[in-house]
Amino acid sequence: MVNTPDELQPGERGRIIEVSGEDAITVRLMEMGLTDGEEIELIGRAPLGDPLEFAIRGYRLSLRTEEARRISIERLQ
Amino acid sequence: MLLRYDPSFCQPRYSGCPTLSVAGFRIGDARLTPAYIASHMPAVETPVKTGLRKVALIGNPNTGKSTLFNALTGMQARIGNFPGVTVEKKVGRIQFDNRTVELIDLPGTYSLSPRTLDEMVSVDVLLGRQRDVGDVDAVVCIVDASNLERNLYLVSQVLDLGLPTILVLNMWDVAQARHVSIDVEGLRQKLNLPVIVCEAHRRMGINEIRSAIVHCDTLVAPLRPKPFPAEFYQECSNLTARLRGLGEKHNAFYLIERLLLDVGGQVETTLVEKHGETISGTLADIRGRLKESGFRIPLAEAKSRYAWAREVLTGLVSVPERRVRTRSDRIDGVLTHRFAGLGVFALLMFIVFQAIFTWAAPVMDLIETGQSMVADLVASRIPPGPLRSLINDGVVAGVGGVLVFVPQIALLFFFIAILEDCGYMARAAFVMDKLMKRIGLSGKSFVPLMSSFACAIPGVMATRVIENRRDRMVTILIAPLMSCSARLPVYVLMTAAFVPPVVYSVPFLTAATADWETPLGISLKGIVLFAMVSLGAAISIPVAWLLKKTFFKGETPPFVMELPSYKWPSVRIVAARVYDRVRAFVVRAGTLIFATTVLIWAASYFPGDHSRQHELEASIEPLQASVDLAQERLDRLQDDEVTATDSPDEEPGNRVAEAEAFLAESKARLGLVADELNRTNGELLAGSVLGRAGHFIEPAVRPLGWDWKIGVGVIASFPAREVIVATLGTIYSLGSDVTEDDEGLISQLTSHYRENGIVLAFSVMVFFALCAQCAATLMVIRRETNSWRWPVFTFAYMTALAYLGALLTYQLGMVLLT
């Protein structure tokens, strides 16, 4: 089932299928290591609900929900 | 490059070797004739290294790059800006093994794919295209050893530059703690470059790096990683040939790569500007062909480079299999928790704000006391006259006017450095992002803007954390709207003079405190004060929105931010950062602030016949001395009276009365002269350039309800808004040493503007709330944006806003009042 990482629960992981778009934001996301095949885990949310904290390639990255929605993942168990 | 005339190369201790001596001449040196050069240069055709060797330092943010830079160069960096952009240029020197090398610090970055002119600077420096730097001989790339994979992305781009490269694995201790094991020797062999392990904050590995840097001439350029398919490189050479046909000689391989990989990037933009749209067509064709072969630009670069990084690390680095919940994650669990997170954030911000608002005050007072002590010293040495006035009111006031900001800057950066070094700063941005997004900014703008409520100067300087240029510019431009502490005296004076002391009762609270001297309630003065402090912030929201829609248009930058792991802040790093910022302020902005103060002094001093003023000043000194003496005598007599009342042969009572009479007489004489001096000062100010300007603008400020006196006060306070209190004191012949709670000044104002005083008060306060009356802030904006355009713009838009605001307030107020 295809999801986006903002739909994960804290502690849940997914595998990146694709980052959509071809603009500067997509390129930036990919430069930060969000490439297909990588595992991504939701660590938590900011107190006001947005942005989100993820673990990717062994470090912690914050993304806004709207940016996370560009990433399609398959939920891992 | 044959000769360089940069004076920085003229320091004799670096000119020991004969080839360097040519650089030892200054422009216009008579010996520097063509014949001399010809006879002293080894060969005219061969480019000669005239200056020092240059090495650039690059790395991801949060890798300890600045710490390494400071450790290597020993804090002796020259700080400036790269010409034409907002990027800070930091150049230091490394001396080791009797060799000297210049180290250039490049901004921290995750990639070398320039999309803007600011981002292009690093590429230009590395490729030797930056004129003010010249050729770079080698590059030091610092990476976080605990997070090698992501860091290798930048490394793969740096290797593509074809420069000799030194790889520094910093944060070795963190990697150890996380059980990341790295085969350093294997990495060295696989990448074919020097790899040095380092813990910059503990000074471990520093000398090894120093040695590698000063001996960089022995290094060879490493092999390019070539992470892309062969078709890509084929197209690169086709494109190179094509560009040569257009007369483009600067065909550095890396630029060709960037030209193809960055759709709409800076390299493409520059070429299109130069050669027109034909380039775009060519590029589109090539990208189309590559896409057909399966290489999708711009997405393919990240995939290929990360694949290369993983390939390099395979077998050399082992990371614990399953991610362990680190201590950092547990801290994050609290600090970004829905309730606890907000609470901790509010508490920390409260402390920071208190520090710059309250704790800095005693030190600032101390500086002001010091300033008046120096002024007294000058007064005791130099007779009254233009020279004394220039030194005290111009020079000493100018130096004091610069130094007085240092406590706030030092304190703010002390806290920012701690928060940054321990990793919380990124979380502060994380916590506040949702709020700041509403006005089109990101969470990173919060701390600079909040600091501006105390003082816009450290606030503007703190915008350096915002890497998006548009966000940073908007934050800088709205920061002076936040109500800084210098606006408070104006509000206090105006509310004290004109707002009636009404206290609205609050149920229960007022009843409970009814028998107090002043029962608690909500005071009207308090409401007015609060409204004034909030006004600027409220106005900044539409201003930010408008700026984002006009000058700083563009797609919303993503909030893609690394959240570094928490660690204990290092004393050394914090101290270095505070020192760095204070020095940058004093050296770069201080001189301009100083100059402005002297200029304003001149405008308020000239023209005018100051002879009577000097006479009075001269005669006031002995009068003051005699008052002091009389007071002292009286005190002594009174003391004697207490201790020796039973002395029979004296009549102390009489002597006390005598002394009292003498004191009263001295005081009266002093008072007469002081009154005349204050009057004279008032008249001189009214007749000066400044006073005439006040008269001149009177027609313009009439609709705001002001007369020329307020006009002079406002003009005089353009360099520093708090000056208005002293100026009004002078104009109302009360002397310039009045304070905002001076009863004389308050009653003068109240009686002078009786009928519509409250409307006038609001008009003045609104003006001060919105106006950019602070030369220091404007000079810091000049420094931070590296252009005169933005301080001028800030001044213009805020003055216009202030005028309109005051006009609206007065006109509406008069309608409401009648």
DSSP of B236-288: HHHHHHHHHHTT-----HHHHHHHHHSTT-HHHHHHHHHH-THHHHHHHHHHH
Bridge pairing between strands B88-96 and B53-59: unpaired
- According to DSSP, the residues that pair with B561 across neighbouring strands are A62
Size of interface A-B (CB pairs under 8 A): 124
pLDDT at B307: 95
Q: Which amino acid is at B13?
A: R
Report the C-alpha dihedral over residues B755, B760, B761, B763, rounded to 10 degrees. Answer: 160
Enter the tokens of residue B551. Answer: 């000058």
Domain boundaries, given as residue ranges, for chain B: 7-218, 230-294, 340-509+533-601, 611-670, 689-817
φ, ψ for residue A19 (rounded to 5)? Answer: -110, 120
Q: Which among B452, B301, B504 has a CA at the least distance from the CA of B777?
A: B452
Report the C-alpha gap between B87 and B89 in whole angstroms: 6
Report the C-alpha gap between B342 and B441 in whole angstroms: 20
Q: Which of B27-41, B62-76, B115-129, B456-470 is predicted with the least confidence, judged by mean pLDDT?
A: B27-41
CATH of domain A2-76: 2.30.30.90
Q: How far apart are the first and last CA of chain A?
A: 12
Dump pLDDT digits (tens) for B393-431: 778 887 887 788 888 888 888 988 898 888 898 898 899
Report the C-alpha gap between B150 and B169 in whole angstroms: 13
pLDDT at B8: 37
Percentage, residues of chain B above pLDDT 70: 90
**B743 versus B283: which is more confidently predicted?**
B283
Q: How far is A2 from chain B (nearest CA, A)?
A: 21
- Chain A: residue nearest B556 by CA? A25
- Chain B: residue nearest A50 by CA? B434
User: Residue B12: pLDDT band by 50, 70, 90 thresholds?
Assistant: very low
Picking from B111, B303, B434, the nearest residue to A48 by CB comes out as B434
Picking from A24, A47, A49, the nearest residue to B337 by CB comes out as A47
pLDDT score of A75 more than 80: yes
Q: How far is B728 from chain A (nearest CA, A)?
A: 47
Enter the tokens of residue B226. Answer: 């070539």
For the entire predicted model, the pTM comes to 0.77
Q: Which amino acid is at B709?
A: K
Contact list in B for residue A28 (CB cut-off 8 A) is 558, 560
Q: Do B306 and A28 touch (CB under 8 A)?
A: no
pLDDT at B651: 63
**B605 versus B45: which is more confidently predicted?**
B605
pLDDT score of A29 more than 90: yes
Radius of gyration of chain A (CA): 11
Q: Do A51 and B430 touch (CB under 8 A)?
A: yes
Dump pLDDT digits (tens) for B148-181: 999 999 999 999 999 999 999 999 998 888 888 9
pLDDT at B648: 54
Q: Do A59 and B562 touch (CB under 8 A)?
A: yes
Dump pLDDT digits (tens) for B219-269: 888 888 889 999 999 999 989 888 888 877 767 889 999 999 999 889 998
B158-to-B111, B305, B510, B682 alpha-carbon distances in Å: 9, 12, 70, 66
pLDDT score of B27 more than 60: no
Cα-to-chain-centroid distance, residue B79: 13
Q: Which among B561, B153, B330 has a CA at the least distance from the CA of A54?
A: B561
B311-318: Cβ within 8 A, 24+ apart: B312/B152, B312/B187, B312/B190, B312/B191, B313/B148, B313/B149, B313/B152, B315/B183, B315/B186, B316/B182, B316/B183, B316/B186, B316/B187, B316/B190, B317/B148, B317/B180, B317/B181, B317/B182, B317/B183, B318/B180, B318/B181
pLDDT at B465: 80
Contact list in A for residue B269 (CB cut-off 8 A) is none
Q: Do A49 and B434 touch (CB under 8 A)?
A: yes
Dump pLDDT digits (tens) for B269-303: 888 888 888 888 889 999 999 999 999 988 899 99
B521-to-B346, B488, B491, B512, B530 alpha-carbon distances in Å: 26, 22, 20, 10, 15
Picking from B115, B264, B336, the nearest residue to A53 by CB comes out as B336
B44 touches B51 (CB < 8 A): no
Q: How far is B76 from chain A (nearest CA, A)?
A: 33
Cα-to-chain-centroid distance, residue B353: 17
Dump pLDDT digits (tens) for B517-540: 766 777 788 888 888 888 998 999
pLDDT score of B32 more than 50: no
- Chain A: residue nearest B146 by CA? A58
Q: Which among B365, B425, B397, B782 has a CA at the least distance from the CA of B584?
A: B782
B632 touches B624 (CB < 8 A): no
- Chain A: residue nearest B344 by CA? A47
Q: Helix, strand, coil % (nearest 5) of chain B?
A: 65, 5, 30
- According to DSSP, the residues that pair with B88 across neighbouring strands are B81
Enter the tokens of residue B104. Answer: 């250039």
- Chain B: residue nearest A20 by CA? B299
Q: How far is A56 from chain B (nearest CA, A)?
A: 9
Contact list in B for residue A70 (CB cut-off 8 A) is none
DSSP B43: -
Q: How far is B353 from chain A (nearest CA, A)?
A: 21
pLDDT at B652: 61
Contact list in B for residue A67 (CB cut-off 8 A) is 558-560
Domain boundaries, given as residue ranges, for chain A: 2-76
Bridge pairing between strands B165-170 and B195-197: parallel
Q: What is the mean pLDDT of residues B811-818?
A: 85
B477 touches B793 (CB < 8 A): yes
Percentage, residues of chain B above pLDDT 90: 27
DSSP H helices in B48-147: 65-73, 117-126
- Chain B: residue nearest A31 by CA? B302
Contact list in B for residue A35 (CB cut-off 8 A) is 302-303, 306
Q: What is the mean pLDDT of residues B45-62?
A: 75
Contact list in A for residue B437 (CB cut-off 8 A) is 50, 64
Report the C-alpha gap between B272 and B171 in whole angstroms: 42
pLDDT at B2: 37
Q: How far is B349 from chain A (nearest CA, A)?
A: 16
Q: How far is A16 from chain B (nearest CA, A)?
A: 12
B195 touches B184 (CB < 8 A): yes
Q: What is the mean pLDDT of chain B?
A: 83
Report the C-alpha gap between B21 and B14 in whole angstroms: 9
Q: Do A36 and B303 touch (CB under 8 A)?
A: yes
Q: What is the mean pLDDT of residues B7-19?
A: 35
Enter the tokens of residue A76. Answer: 């891992």
> Which residue, chain included where needed, has tokens 């800088």?
B476
Most confident region among B120-129, B276-285, B712-721 by mean pLDDT? B120-129
Picking from B299, B426, B559, the nearest residue to A26 by CB comes out as B299
Is residue B618 classed as helix, strand or coil in its secondary structure? Answer: helix
pLDDT at B39: 45
Q: Do A61 and B560 touch (CB under 8 A)?
A: yes
B760 touches B705 (CB < 8 A): yes
- Tell me which of A20, A29, A57, A71 to substitute to probe the interface with B (most B C-beta atoms closer than 10 Å): A57
Superfamily the domain B7-218 falls into: P-loop containing nucleotide triphosphate hydrolases (3.40.50.300)
Contact list in B for residue A27 (CB cut-off 8 A) is 113, 298-299, 301-302
pLDDT at B647: 53
Report the C-alpha gap between B747 and B757 in whole angstroms: 12
Report the C-alpha gap between B809 and B806 in whole angstroms: 5
pLDDT at B169: 96
User: Residue B3: pLDDT band by 50, 70, 90 thresholds?
Assistant: very low
- Tell me which of B182, B318, B470, B560 to substitute to probe the interface with A (most A C-beta atoms closer than 10 Å): B560
Picking from B336, B562, B565, the nearest residue to A47 by CB comes out as B336
User: Residue B44: pLDDT band by 50, 70, 90 thresholds?
Assistant: very low
Q: What is the mean pLDDT of residues B576-580?
A: 85
Q: Do B147 and A59 touch (CB under 8 A)?
A: yes
Dump pLDDT digits (tens) for B301-346: 999 999 999 999 999 998 876 656 778 888 888 888 888 888 998 8
B154 touches B109 (CB < 8 A): yes
- Tell me which of A39, A62, A72 to substitute to probe the interface with B (most B C-beta atoms closer than 10 Å): A62
